[in-house]
Amino acid sequence: MTTAPDPLENPPGEECGVFGVWAPGEDVAKLSYYGLHALQHRGQEAAGIAVSDGSRILVVKDLGLVSKVFDESSLSTLTGHIAIGHCRYSTTGAPVWENAQPVFRTVASGGCLALGHNGNLVNTLELLERSTASPSLLRVDPRNYNRDTVGTDSDLICGLLARMADDPQLELEDLGGRTAIERAALKLLPTLRGAFCLTFLDENTLYAARDPWGVRPLCLGRLERGWVLASETSALDIVGASFVRDIEPGELLAIDMDGVRSTRFANPQPKGCVFEYVYLARPDSVIAGRSVHAARVEIGRRLAEEHPVDADLVIPVPESGTPAAIGYAQGSGIPYGQGLTKNAYVGRTFIQPSQTIRQLGIRLKLNPMREVIRGKRLVVVDDSIVRGNTQRALVRMLREAGAVEVHVRIASPPVRWPCFYGIDFPSTTELIANGADGPEGMLEGVRRSIRADSLGHISLEGLVAATEQPLTRLCTACFNGVYPIQLPDEAALGKSVLEGQVG
Residues forming the active site = 16
| Contact status, residue 217 vs residue 232, Cβ threshold 8 Å | yes
| Contact status, residue 458 vs residue 296, Cβ threshold 8 Å | no
Binding residues: 273, 320, 382-383, 419, 475, 478
E strand or H helix that includes residue 178: none
Phi/psi for 229 (5° steps) reads -120, 140
Distance CA 500, CA 294 (A): 45
Distance CA 446, CA 451 (A): 8
The secondary structure of the chain in percent helix, strand, coil, rounded to multiples of 5, reads: 35, 25, 45
Exposure pattern of 33-72 as b/e (b: 16+ CB <10 Å)?
bebbbbbbbbbbbbbbbbbbeeeebbbbbebebbeebbee
Helix (H, G, I), strand (E, B) or coil at 372: helix
Helix (H, G, I), strand (E, B) or coil at 428: helix
Supply the angle between the helices 153-164 and 124-133 in degrees, to the nearest 10.
40
| Contact status, residue 166 vs residue 107, Cβ threshold 8 Å | yes
Binding residues for [4Fe-4S] cluster: 273, 419, 475, 478
Sign (positive or negative) of CA dihedral 471, 475, 481, 482? positive
Distance CA 374, CA 353 (A): 29
Supply the angle between the helices 460-467 and 292-306 in degrees, to the nearest 10.
150
